[in-house]
Chain A
Amino acid sequence: MSDTSSVGPRPNSGIDLSQFYQVFFEEARENLDRMERLLIGLDVDRADNEELNAIFRCAHSIKGGAATFGFADTAELTHQMETLLDKLRRRERAPTAAMVDVLLRSGDALRAQLARHQGAGGEAVDTAELLRDVRALVAGASPLAATQCASAAGPAEREEPVPAAAVPALRVLELRVGPLNRVSDADDLHALFKEIPDLGTLEPLDGGPAADGIRRFRITTTASDSDLLDLFTFHVAREQLVLLPLGPGDGVHTAVSPAPAPADAGYGYGYGLFDKAPGSPQIAMSMPARPLPQPAPVSAKPAARGADRSAAAAPETSTLRVAVEKVDQLINLVGELVITQAMLAQESLRLDPALHRQLTAGLADLERNTRDLQESVMSIRMIPMSIVFSRFPRMLRDLAAKLGKQVDFVTQGEATELDKGMVERITDPLTHLVRNSCDHGIELPAERLALGKPEQGTITLSASHRGGSIVIEVRDDGRGLSRDKLLKKAREKGIDAPDTLSDSEVWALIFAPGFSTADEVTDVSGRGVGMDVVKRNIGSLGGTVEIDSAEGRGMRVSVRLPLTLAIMDGMSIGVGDEVYIVPLSSVIESFQVQPGTIKSIGGSGRVVEVRNEFMPVLELEHVLAVPRSNRESAAAIVVVVEAEEGRVALLVDELLGQQQVVVKNLEANYRKVEGVSGATILGDGRVALILDVGSMVRRSRH
């Protein structure tokens, strides 16, 4: 539909269409996603009919809904897309990369329109240029040419470069203007049509100014509603303008002879019955599309619908959509259950197993069931990595085009599952890494050919489970990191970088704050957000980043993440009477301190020598201000922990053991505490704080 009124959703005969909006929005978004996927996967030289048809259907479906529910701008754009896609599936035009581009951009515009209709606010999406491009493609021109011509020619002749075939159908509209303050305002509109030859015609529908100050005109034009309104608002305020379709047909028809114009020109959306067709009633009817004298009573509540719902259910509904909060609540409760179970297990150790055999057996069952339950519940939050991966093909495509590079994107292990919260927070860092690969890694096609590489670079994104973690890798076959360049750059930045650094230490330099290997900051990867932020974000998820690179051959960034944020392997340590948890993943080693190995330097600082390396020492007792009742027992065990910033030796009293702990957010329950990343409840019911290793290391540096 190119001509539904742009005065907003149509008034409707007793039915509130807004109740269907939500379904429409969801459906439209699914269609847009599908269309984008199909377009990106489309091989323009070997497109098969089914693919083209499927893409057509996406646009077609959105158009149908948009027109029905009165989203004129969306209907207009999809109508143009549909016209182009129709030509493609009928093989009247061969698909080109330019078409794919314009269609993808149209998809973006549609998303923006939908978001706006859904109440996200923002400016109306300007689709004039897109519409022009699509029409030009329908007519067989290249979109760029059309755009250039149009911008050079100015608005008056904006339709001119488009050959006749692309001109949208001639439409007959009713324009209502007013109430006008000055009668002459309407004359300005007449003048507009005289000044702009291609705009069409404007004829009065009334005999001059009426008592209510409203003037009515008939407009015969090919311009879109939004273009018309834009023009008219030069002379008349937008609120005083109403455009209505006039005459029969749905606007796809070329209305050759303007229809007679009744004052209450309704919406001429017609129907018709075929003469003597099967199923016709005795008297064959044809096309008197008069409105019903009395609109059929329509109940406001969908009361009678319940019975039909089972028949209405789409066949693919084997999943259940639930709010994340409900799942989180479930996880929380299971977490409590795990704690209770651990407490019971600990208490039961004091009982004589011979006397309480049944109780012990029951507790063993409880333990097993609790563990199974916990695993099942955690698995609800697990979602496949494909959710994240799917956003990259489009992004890379646009990026590669912008940079003039050719990139093939390969994904592996899309079915690998990861906690939902983790997936959401890993998306940005991964996006950054993939962008980096395309921007800094992959060379320009000519450069690649000169190096004897295939013209097209390859970026591979893979995910796999390894032990209790998930490893996500971003690989490219680009230029890789240059050891010399990195060292030089590091020294320029004042970073201590001796030549003796190992390769992996050199690669790790790019994680230093403010470090960027590109000679100039591009608008693609640069933007001041560097690899240090990527590393910090991944670190905050309990993950690590590793780089492997071969100069001239490519680079691999491996991100290792725990499967979930809710459960963690911890080492419990004793300091005074308190118990703390250190994330096991950050513990490097622990050992008994020999007298004299801890040395004081420069006043308050203390270091310990571990295999010829001096490491700062933090006495947890002081850092955490733990009261010590017994002065005799001094902390004598060192636990070496590592965070991204480096290592630190923690001085503790004793090591109590390793256990899985359910992580509770301290900020949500209390407030942020420096040096503590969360809390957990121990088997005996006591609360233990989980140490934030990163902040410990930072503290040791000050």
Chain B
Amino acid sequence: MQSILAVDDSASMRQMVSFTLTGAGYNVVEAVDGQDAWEKSDRCDFDLVLTDQNMPRMDGIGLTKRLRATPRSCKTPILILTTESSEQMKLAGRGAGATGWLVKPFEPTRLIEAIRKLIG
């Protein structure tokens, strides 16, 4: 079963993402912010990282940069989930090494669709 690290500081969003992806057949590990995700990613491998952008302690961009700078996660698909769908944000995500972006709020099916494209 493929593992997805879902990072969001909002418990309801985490719950919903987790529920959606679990239902679609993925194993989901939740993290409450970038720092938590960074620590969790150090302990095990994930097939994909889905991260919120604005979070306390470490944001999505910071997490992406760190993951990319680490050999074990330099090729892991990273989707940045954000309400700020500005070009600026997309550029920042791209610059940090994100694989793609997803606008919040999203349809659960849209989330699954995006993830299927990346990891099948």
Residues of A within 8 A of B (CB): 1, 4, 12-15, 17, 19-20, 23-24, 26-27, 54, 56-57, 60-61, 63-65, 67-69, 249-250, 252-253, 267, 269-274, 277-281, 285, 289, 291-292, 295-299, 302, 304-305, 307-308, 311-312, 314-315
Q: How far is the CA of A281 from the CA of B118 in the complex (A)?
A: 6
A252 touches B22 (CB 8 A): no
Provide the residues of chain A in CB contact with B114, threshold 8 Å: 271, 273
Provide the residues of chain A in CB contact with B74, threshold 8 Å: 278
Provide the residues of chain B in CB contact with A250, threshold 8 Å: 83, 85, 103, 105
B100 touches A271 (CB 8 A): yes
| Interface membership of chain B positions 51-88, coded 1 if the CB is closer than 8 angstroms to chain A and 0 otherwise | 01011100000000000100000111111000111100
Provide the residues of chain B in CB contact with A291, threshold 8 Å: 107, 109-110, 113
A269 touches B86 (CB 8 A): no
B112 touches A27 (CB 8 A): no
Other A-B pairs beyond A250-B83, A250-B85, A271-B102, 12, CB < 8 Å:
A1-B83, A24-B12, A67-B105, A69-B16, A252-B84, A269-B103, A272-B100, A272-B101, A280-B99, A298-B108, A305-B22, A315-B32
A312 touches B18 (CB 8 A): yes
Contact A271 to B106, CB < 8 A, known contacts A279-B99, A315-B32: yes
B106 touches A279 (CB 8 A): no
Shortest C-beta distance, B73 to chain A (Å), equals 9
Shortest C-beta distance, A5 to chain B (Å), equals 12
B108 touches A69 (CB 8 A): no
Provide the residues of chain A in CB contact with B93, threshold 8 Å: 274
Shortest C-beta distance, A259 to chain B (Å), equals 15
B117 touches A308 (CB 8 A): no
A295 touches B109 (CB 8 A): yes
A267 touches B19 (CB 8 A): no
How many A-B pairs with Cβ below 8 Å?
Answer: 181
Q: How far is the CA of A285 from the CA of B116 in the complex (A)?
A: 12
- B30, B55, B93, B119 pick with most chain A CB within 10 angstroms: B30
B75 touches A279 (CB 8 A): yes
Provide the residues of chain A in CB contact with B101, threshold 8 Å: 271-272, 274
| Interface membership of chain B positions 1-32, coded 1 if the CB is closer than 8 angstroms to chain A and 0 otherwise | 00000000111111110111011100111101
Partner of B10, one of A4, A61, A249, A298: A61
Q: Can you list 15 A-B contacts with CB-CB less than 8 angstroms, sorted by A residue number?
A: A17-B16, A20-B15, A57-B54, A67-B104, A269-B107, A270-B102, A271-B79, A273-B100, A273-B114, A274-B101, A277-B97, A277-B100, A278-B75, A298-B24, A312-B29
Shortest C-beta distance, A76 to chain B (Å), equals 13
The 7 A-B residue pairs whose C-beta atoms are closest, nearest first, are: A279-B77, A298-B23, A273-B100, A279-B99, A68-B105, A24-B12, A271-B102
Partner of A23, one of B11, B23, B52, B102: B11
Shortest C-beta distance, A187 to chain B (Å), equals 35
Q: How far is the CA of A465 from the CA of B118 in the complex (A)?
A: 61
B15 touches A296 (CB 8 A): no
A292 touches B103 (CB 8 A): no
Closest B residue, CB atoms, query A24? B12
A64 touches B10 (CB 8 A): yes
B10 touches A27 (CB 8 A): yes
Contact A279 to B118, CB < 8 A, known contacts A1-B83, A1-B105, A308-B30: yes
Shortest C-beta distance, B43 to chain A (Å), equals 10
Q: How far is the CA of A297 from the CA of B107 in the complex (A)?
A: 14
Closest A residue, CB atoms, query B93? A274
Q: How far is the CA of A296 from the CA of B77 in the complex (A)?
A: 21
Provide the residues of chain B in CB contact with A281, threshold 8 Å: 117-120
A278 touches B10 (CB 8 A): no
Shortest C-beta distance, A327 to chain B (Å), equals 25
A277 touches B109 (CB 8 A): no
Q: How far is the CA of A478 from the CA of B93 in the complex (A)?
A: 56
Provide the residues of chain A in CB contact with B105, threshold 8 Å: 1, 4, 64, 67-69, 250, 269
Provide the residues of chain B in CB contact with A15, threshold 8 Å: 19-20, 23, 108
Shortest C-beta distance, B83 to chain A (Å), equals 5
A308 touches B56 (CB 8 A): no
Q: How far is the CA of A24 from the CA of B14 in the complex (A)?
A: 10
Q: How far is the CA of A311 from the CA of B11 in the complex (A)?
A: 13
